[in-house]
Amino acid sequence: MTPDPYAGLDLESLDLRAQPELYRVGRGEQGVLRVQPYKDELLPLWRFRTPEVARESVAALRERFDDYLAAGDLVGADMARKFLQMGYTRARRYANHAGGRKYDGPVPADQRGRSGAHGRRELPRGPEDADKAESARIFKDAWDAVEEVSAYTDWRSEHRSRHG
């Protein structure tokens, strides 16, 4: 398990726009629902219920990504990228598992080690939800596009090597 890069910090009161050196890029979506003020700015834009809603969400998140990048706010740009990534992963989960539940309850102690994440069994996949699969594709395309922005990826690599 990856250690919490924010252990010991009060993220509810920490403004990472004011202190970007404290931001840790982390892996994948790590920190996406914890880093302020970006969580409050981006979460209301993040939706994937239908392809139309996903397209609107992606457009709003990409606009924020571009705005953050233009303003010299790497943390904001990275958080917008994380919301695009999370849109893909959550929409895929809902496409594969009705109701979005991927794992069952806790696994008995004698069954541990033979299960999915967090000691729980993965539920069987149902028939694919075509709307959620299309929403996932929309988010994946947008996520891939921001990963092609060299001004962002170079800056992110520099920040990661300097600050973690």
| Beta strands in 96-140, from DSSP E residues, in sequence order | 103-106, 120-122
Q: Can you tell me the mean pLDDT for 157-163?
A: 90
**Does residue 115 have a pLDDT over 50?**
no
- What would the pLDDT profile of 28-44 be if each residue is shown by its tens digit? 887 788 889 999 999 99
CA distances from 119 to 93, 107, 122 (A): 18, 6, 10
Give me the residue spans of the domains in the chain.
20-100+131-163
**Does residue 60 have a pLDDT over 80?**
yes
**Does residue 104 have a pLDDT over 60?**
yes
**Does residue 112 have a pLDDT over 60?**
no
Least confident of 5-9, 11-15, 90-94, 151-155: 5-9
Q: Can you tell me the mean pLDDT for 41-67?
A: 97
The answer to whether the beta carbons of residues 74 and 155 sit under 8 Å apart is yes
